[in-house]
């Protein structure tokens, strides 16, 4: 009798261990990552002739701008009007896209608990452009309304943003607070760390804060600037909007920037080298 009882207990323990091993592990606290189908669709867009033509025109215009203004932003040392626009763009490679996360509106309003999964929203897939002459840029792809389809959203000059996006991992995601162009990293322990000067200022010089504390900070900054607010209705720059709320055919210049930006337009992609733009597409500031 004793042996039978012992054997039964052993079998029950083994069965329980098997069930525990088979049970799914709790979901990690991180925002949903793009599916394999998303990356496949994004790669198809990046390999398309139309996108390559757009990037070539962008690099050509960027090279011309460098010749006119000089690499340091000054004059190029030639008489005005004598600089010839380059006829061909340098060769370039497009790297595997990585996710670019931004703040989720529900997190800002406090409608969701302060977790990494609720704080961030996938806004773009972003791919590094590495030109043969050393020029760096980034292609942004936005997800279409349904399915795993992606399309060109714009091209950003320089590699500051793509470099930060590439630092993200499954355990620690990087994300942007686009209104002030601040980059952060949220860790698996639920802390937010600044990754650039703007983020350091936004966190009041702290090396890290909890997600709850960060949620309180952004709520103070943007809770009265969400879509539908009086601030938004006045058309002032800096109103908060999610990726879905952003107009696909317009782009606004960010004060103090000079990076060229190619916005996607319904009739094709047009080049605008007159000013840069934040990823967050804001309304143009109106004069008082």
Residues 33-42 have pLDDT tens digits of: 999 999 999 9
Q: What pLDDT is stored for residue 170 in this prediction?
A: 86
Q: What pLDDT is stored for residue 67 in this prediction?
A: 60
Q: What pLDDT is stored for residue 90 in this prediction?
A: 83
Task: Please say whether the beta carbons of 79 and 72 come within 8 A.
Answer: no
Q: What pLDDT is stored for residue 89 in this prediction?
A: 73
For the stretch 149-163, pLDDT in tens is: 999 999 999 999 999
Average pLDDT of the residues of the chain: 73
How many angstroms separate the CA atoms of 54 and 52, rounded? 5
Neighbours of 69 (CB within 10 A): 14
Q: What pLDDT is stored for residue 85 in this prediction?
A: 52
Handedness of CA 47, 48, 53, 59 (dihedral sign): negative
Q: What pLDDT is stored for residue 183 in this prediction?
A: 97
Listed as ranges, residues in the chain with pLDDT below 50 are: 2, 11-12, 15-27, 72, 74-83, 237-288
How many angstroms separate the CA atoms of 261 and 186, rounded? 28
Q: Which residues pair with 265 in a beta bridge?
A: 268
Apex 105 CA angle, 231 and 156, nearest 5: 85
DSSP assigned state of 153: E
Q: What pLDDT is stored for residue 275 in this prediction?
A: 30
Q: What pLDDT is stored for residue 6 in this prediction?
A: 53
**E strands in 109-267:** 120-131, 136-143, 150-157, 173-177, 182-186, 191-194, 209-210, 261-265
- Supply φ then ψ for residue 140, to 5 degrees: -105, 130
Residue-level length of the chain: 288
Strand 191-194 with 182-186, pairing: antiparallel
Secondary structure (3-state) at 94: strand
How many angstroms separate the CA atoms of 143 and 77, rounded? 44
pTM above 0.95, yes or no: no
* Of 39, 197, 34, 229, residue with least CA distance to 123: 34
């Amino acid at each position: 009798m004793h042996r039978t009882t012992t054997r039964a207990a052993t079998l029950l323990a083994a069965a329980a261990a098997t069930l525990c091993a088979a049970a799914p592990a709790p979901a990690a606290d991180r925002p949903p990552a793009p599916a394999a189908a998303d990356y496949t669709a994004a790669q198809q867009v990046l390999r398309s002739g139309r996108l390559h033509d757009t990037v070539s025109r962008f690099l050509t215009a960027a090279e011309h701008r460098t010749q006119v203004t000089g690499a340091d932003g000054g004059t190029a040392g030639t008489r005005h009007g004598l600089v010839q626009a380059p006829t061909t763009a340098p060769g370039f490679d497009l790297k595997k896209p990585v996710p670019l996360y931004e703040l989720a509106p529900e997190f800002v309003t406090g409608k969701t608990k302060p977790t990494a999964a609720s704080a961030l929203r996938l806004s773009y897939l972003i791919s590094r452009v590495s030109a043969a002459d050393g020029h760096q840029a980034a292609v942004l792809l936005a997800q279409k309304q349904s399915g795993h389809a992606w399309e060109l959203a714009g091209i950003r000059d320089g590699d500051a943003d793509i470099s930060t996006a590439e630092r993200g991992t499954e355990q620690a995601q990087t994300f942007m607070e686009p209104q002030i162009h601040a980059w952060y990293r949220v860790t698996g322990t639920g802390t937010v760390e600044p990754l650039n000067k703007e983020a350091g200022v936004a966190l009041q010089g702290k090396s890290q804060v909890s997600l709850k504390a960060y949620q309180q900070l952004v709520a103070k900054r943007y809770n009265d600037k969400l879509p539908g607010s009086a601030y938004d209705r006045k058309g002032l720059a800096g109103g908060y909007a999610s990726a879905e709320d952003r107009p696909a055919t317009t782009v606004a210049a960010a004060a103090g920037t000079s990076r060229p930006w190619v916005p996607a337009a319904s009739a094709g992609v047009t080049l605008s080298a007159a000013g840069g733009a934040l990823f967050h597409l804001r309304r143009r500031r109106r004069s008082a």
